[in-house]
Structure 1
Amino acid sequence: MAGPLYGRAFQTAYVTRDLDGAIARYAAAFGVRNFMVFDTANGPYALRVGLAWAGDRMVEILDPQGEPSPLYAGTLPDQPDGLRFHHIGHLIEDADQWREVEQAIARTATPVASTISVPGQFEIIYTDSRSVDGHYHEYVYAMPDGMRFFSEVPRN
């Protein structure tokens, strides 16, 4: 049985240098056209973010604005509207499961690349497992208000 670090994979995430161009490119290739687009202002690194459901999988496209965070800088594609795979998102909806994930990260000494807190909605941990599987993992504890936010993401 897989441990808590291999929980429910719900999201595939990419980075780009041009969110609008990347969404158009993704739509042409895969038919996923309807995205929720928003800007973040958390911390020193701003992002434009596009989210869309494609069946039961969420697609996330991240476009760093200005100087990119080290979390994204090494993955950005050369082509402005290009997409480069960045992480798999794992959804956790239960506080006890979230504690299990936190404990497993500590127990296995999995490198933590970043943590984000959106009070009342999300707690997020990015782990850096590039030396094992070539990419990051994002663990998202979505509280009820976070799940409501996800329910507003367009379905394709």
Structure 2
Amino acid sequence: MMKTLSLSPFSGFLQIAYVTTDVDEAIDHFCRQQNVPAWARLPGIEIESIAGRRCTLNIALAFVGSVQLELIEPLAGDDRVYRDALPRDGFAIRHHHIAQLIDSEAAFETQRKEMAAAGVPIVIDGQSPGAARYFYTDHRATLGHYIEHIWYTPAGLAAMEQLPRNGAVQ
């Protein structure tokens, strides 16, 4: 039985993330089907997946009300956490993770230690120097998805405020 954690991974809910085989086609889908027309595109960005390993992704970000949407297209490197959810052929969009915004670096460290001590698999663990620290925990067996835990520096929070805002979906 898994130990009960003192910090709920659902507190500080920030984001719903999807993986896709084609970020441009996924943006088009969200524009037409979900009325989310404004996106920030981050093509070919490289992120740290685990210390010493990196992957390259096409990412698109948008807010709908207070919820951030993220679209991720894996391109190369250590991207199996993203790629494994996708079919080998054809276009697809698949739910991948939700993200929790953690309000301090100390709380981030505490939560990371608690998750590891509870035996929750940590499958992504990295940072964007000067902007954010993040880790993903694997809850696919119990919830059907990953959870990203993220802490932003003040500069990272300021950058997030620049992301496109879409009205609440009616």
Structure 2 partner of 1:54 = 64
Aligned residues: 156
**Matched letter for residue 145 of structure 1:** A
Higher helix content, 1 or 2: 1
**Change beyond 3 A, Cα 1:66–1:106:** closer
Report if the CA contact (8 A) 1:25-1:81 is conserved.
no
Q: Which structure 1 residue ranges, 5 or more long, are not aligned?
A: none
Post-superposition shift, 1:133? 0.6
Q: 1:75 to 1:53 in 2, by over 3 A?
A: same
Taking structure 1 as reference, are residues 25 and 2 closer, same or farther at Cα in structure 2, changes over 3 Å only? farther
Q: Residue type of the partner of 1:37?
A: R
Contact 1:77–1:83 (8 Å) recurs in 2? no
| Cα-to-partner distance string for 1:51-79 (whole Å, 9 max, x where unaligned) | 00000000000011146711112211466
User: Does the aligned pair in 1 maintain the 2:100–2:147 contact within 8 Å?
Assistant: yes
Match of 1:116 in 2: 126
CA contact (8 A) 2:126 2:135 kept: yes
Q: For 1:14 and 1:74, how far apart are their aligned partners in 2?
A: 12
Percent sequence identity is 27
1:116, distance to aligned residue in structure 2 (A):
1.5
Q: How does 1:72-87 map to 2 (within 5 A)?
A: 72-77=82-87, 80-87=90-97
**Structural RMSD (CA):** 1.9
| Structure ranking higher in strand proportion | 2
**Structure 1: 4+ residue segments shifted above 3 A:** 77-81
Tell me the amino acid that sits aligned with residue 46 of structure 2. Answer: A
The answer on 1:10 being equivalent to 2:14 is yes
Deviation of 1:143 (Å): 1.2
CA contact (8 A) 1:16 1:77 kept: no
Cα contact 1:15–1:77 (8 A) shared by 2: no
Counterpart among 58, 65, 72 of residue 75 in structure 2: 65
- Letter matched to residue 138 of structure 1: E
Aligned to 1:20: 24
